Structure 1
Amino acid sequence: MIATSSLPQAAAPAAAHPTPALRPELVCPAGSLPALKAAVNEGADCVYLGLRDATNARNFAGLNFDEAAIRSGIAYAHERRCQVFLALNTYPLADDHAPWRSALDHAAAWGVDAVILADPGLMRYAAARHPELRLHLSVQGSATNHEAIALYHAQFGIRRAVLPRVLSLEQVRQLIERTPVEIEVFGFGSLCVMVEGRCALSSYATGESPNTHGVCSPAKAVRWQETPRGLDARLNGVLIDCYAPLENAGYPTLCKGRFDVGEEHGYYALEEPTSLNTLALLPQLVNMGVRAIKIEGRQRSPAYVAQVTRVWREAIDHCMAQMHRYTPKTTWMTSLEQLAEGQQHTLGAYHRPWK
């Protein structure tokens, strides 16, 4: 008879350990070579930039990169273990798609780490011609559900999707649970109050679509005029706003203007001009599996880029080291408020009561 004590004992169940949260990449804007270097020096994991033409959605005079600058920027970033993403996020013209295809060919030759695309035809070209090139779906693609992202993934092999700034936090969480594609969200910067990639207001006023010409308010169409009532801001003759003496005046865009509607006067978009700031949501974003946090602002100065990158680098590192004790520092919030539109910030759609 075998002693009970000699029988093999069932192994105790292993203690359940939650999968450690992955550190999200900090993706920072670079509208110029000095801005790129500022972001890299302050700890960006990735920088994103565009060419000096309509292939990117920040086609302002004086911004962006020629070939010499982009080669220099890629070398500078890669030497410091920072990735470089090229934004080719406008839609090619039906009668002249050559600049967009040429830009893709150059991107592959230059050795960028990813291209950010919105147009399916350009994705098809990239997947066929440059299968080794990593593709990210731009916010201009306006994919707000997992079925849309699954389509881009199956058809073109996209590896990451940048979500529009119109989803609640719960919607972001549910989307991440349903897709193998990496998800990137905006963490700080100007809000686009339109359905991104579907803006028609600016093209109505100026005759140039921001989705093909790369600018929602072309500088050539902007006019400022001093009047007895204050400072008028116009876009191609359309009165966008009137600022009282000493009132801060923002760059005029139709979706952020103040208008008379009946007997009321005010902002009639989702909210008045203010900046998105999600520092308070950082632990939630990390725990739900957000793979990258994007800072808006390629049209901003190198000083802006340096300050925002510095704050977010410290915040992400602090959050990953002490998740359960994380709270935004007053110094971080003060620093970012100084850079926000109207020196105001919001959580945007992330904390809207509606879905």
Structure 2
Amino acid sequence: MTELIRPELVCPAGTPAALKSAVDAGADCVYVGFRDETNARNFPGLNFNRKELEDGIGYAHARGAKVLVAINTFPRAGHPEIWHAAVDDAARLQADAVILADIGLIDYAARTHPDLRLHLSVQAAASNPQAIRFYAERFGVRRVVLPRVLTVPEIAAINAIIAPIETEVFVFGGLCVMAEGRCALSSYATGQSPNMNGVCSPASHVRYVESGHGITSQLAGFTINQFGLNEPAGYPTLCKGRFIANGKTSYLFEEPTSLNTLTMLPDLIKAGVTAFKIEGRQRGRAYVAAVVQAFRAGIDAVMAGQPVPDMDLDCITEGGRQTTGAYEKAWR
């Protein structure tokens, strides 16, 4: 019988407080971003300046945890300076790895900092052995974050072919209807997209309009959703808006729901996944602590040969609903 490898638990931290919460709750790794457009969660009030990251890395390392820096947007043509500076500073501050998507930036990091560990962001959308091997053989990429479009058997098959290249998969958090790294939908309304500017539906373009019938959410002047008086009002992103089509009102692209794979942890571990990633750098420290504690307990239980504990995470999932997403592809 093949011995199971304990996967790393990779957890989000949008602020120094969230980093401490993740580490204290049992994270093996914490991923963060700089406070600029080099990362795909470039929202006001989030992310780290250089001194905060230095302190955060010190806090994590003192407790046996690693810090990964997401530099996962695509540089502006002819102006890669701030992206290069982000890689340089991550290396200088002794980050354990950088998470990159742009092939030119990966090349820069590999040439300039040969000792810096490179992870391939999900934004690069490498979902087959040939693409993964290209990045590993050409640039020395050590780990690939797989897109959320693969079943567990497909992941196992990829791992069997690409070893010892590591794979990381998302296990909890928000989903996206778009192909990883290809979303430009937000830019049609706001002029800004997550892949280039690090923002999907930026807060500066969001408005909530109250009336006697409830609340209307708007993005750059476009109505995205309408909520009743007692209905929670969600954040207005275009792909999760409620629209009228053929006389029927529905979530046309994607319903608000969260990925939750707690019950699938044994299968993902058997599939040879190296690391489990929790989404949510824009979430608060309470969310981070709760999810990290749940998945820490789940992983520890599986590795001890015990069943995964039954834990209710409905209160922190999007729309109070959960799915296993493409991992099972129940719609086939």
TM-score range, shorter chain: over 0.9
Tell me the distance in 2 between the aligned counterparts of 1:120 and 1:354: 34
User: Cα distance, 1:329 vs. partner?
Assistant: 2.6
Question: Corresponding residue for 1:223?
Answer: 207
Find 2:189's aligned residue among 159, 180, 205. Answer: 205
Give matches, 1:282-297, under 5 Å.
Answer: 282-297=265-280
Question: Corresponding residue for 1:112?
Answer: 95
Tell me the distance in 2 between the aligned counterparts of 1:75 and 1:56: 21
Give 1:352's aligned amino acid: K
User: Cα distance, 1:208 vs. partner?
Assistant: 1.2
User: Cα distance, 1:228 vs. partner?
Assistant: 4.1
Tell me the distance in 2 between the aligned counterparts of 1:240 and 1:171: 35
Find 1:65's aligned residue among 48, 53, 56. Answer: 48
Question: Corresponding residue for 1:238?
Answer: 222
Give matches, 1:172-191, under 5 Å.
Answer: 172-180=155-163, 181-191=165-175
Contact 2:14 2:282 in 1 (8 A): yes
Find 1:346's aligned residue among 299, 311, 323. Answer: 323
Please tell me whether residue 29 in structure 1 is matched to residue 12 in structure 2.
yes
Deviations 1:61-88 (A, max 9, x none): 0001011110100000000110000000
Tell me the distance in 1 between the aligned counterparts of 2:2 and 2:151: 24
Tell me the distance in 2 between the aligned counterparts of 1:27 and 1:117: 16
Question: Corresponding residue for 1:250?
Answer: 234
TM-score (norm 2): 0.97
Tell me the distance in 2 between the aligned counterparts of 1:239 and 1:166: 29
Deviations 1:80-103 (A, max 9, x none): 110000000000001321000011
User: Cα distance, 1:314 vs. partner?
Assistant: 0.9
Deviations 1:38-66 (A, max 9, x none): 11111100000000000000001000101
Contact 2:216 2:227 in 1 (8 A): yes
Question: Corresponding residue for 1:9?
Answer: none
Rg comparison, structure with higher value: 1
Contact 2:4 2:269 in 1 (8 A): yes
Deviations 1:277-304 (A, max 9, x none): 0001000000110000001010011111
Question: Corresponding residue for 1:329?
Answer: 309
Please tell me whether residue 129 in structure 1 is matched to residue 112 in structure 2.
yes
- Number of residues of Structure 1 aligned to a counterpart in Structure 2: 331
Find 1:54's aligned residue among 37, 55, 68. Answer: 37
Tell me the percent identity: 54
Tell me the distance in 1 between the aligned counterparts of 2:88 and 2:32: 16
Tell me the distance in 2 between the aligned counterparts of 1:354 and 1:154: 36
Tell me the distance in 2 between the aligned counterparts of 1:350 and 1:19: 22
Tell me the distance in 1 between the aligned counterparts of 2:281 and 2:132: 25
Find 1:146's aligned residue among 121, 129, 139. Answer: 129
Tell me the distance in 2 between the aligned counterparts of 1:241 and 1:195: 23
User: Cα distance, 1:261 vs. partner?
Assistant: 1.1
SS of residue paired to 2:280: coil
Tell me the distance in 2 between the aligned counterparts of 1:284 and 1:111: 34
Give 2:240's aligned amino acid: K
Find 2:85's aligned residue among 102, 111, 119. Answer: 102
User: Cα distance, 1:170 vs. partner?
Assistant: 2.1
Give matches, 1:54-93, under 5 Å.
Answer: 54-93=37-76
User: Cα distance, 1:194 vs. partner?
Assistant: 0.9
Give 2:80's aligned amino acid: H
SS of residue paired to 1:178: helix
Tell me the distance in 2 between the aligned counterparts of 1:160 and 1:133: 13
Give 2:309's aligned amino acid: K
The runs of at least 4 aligned residues of structure 1 exceeding 3 Å deviation read none
SS of residue paired to 2:162: coil
Give 1:329's aligned amino acid: P
Question: Corresponding residue for 1:5?
Answer: none
Contact 2:153 2:271 in 1 (8 A): no
Question: Corresponding residue for 2:283?
Answer: 300
C-alpha root-mean-square deviation of aligned residues, in Å? 1.2
SS of residue paired to 2:86: helix
Which deviates more, 344-353 or 117-126? 344-353
Tell me the distance in 1 between the aligned counterparts of 2:223 and 2:133: 42
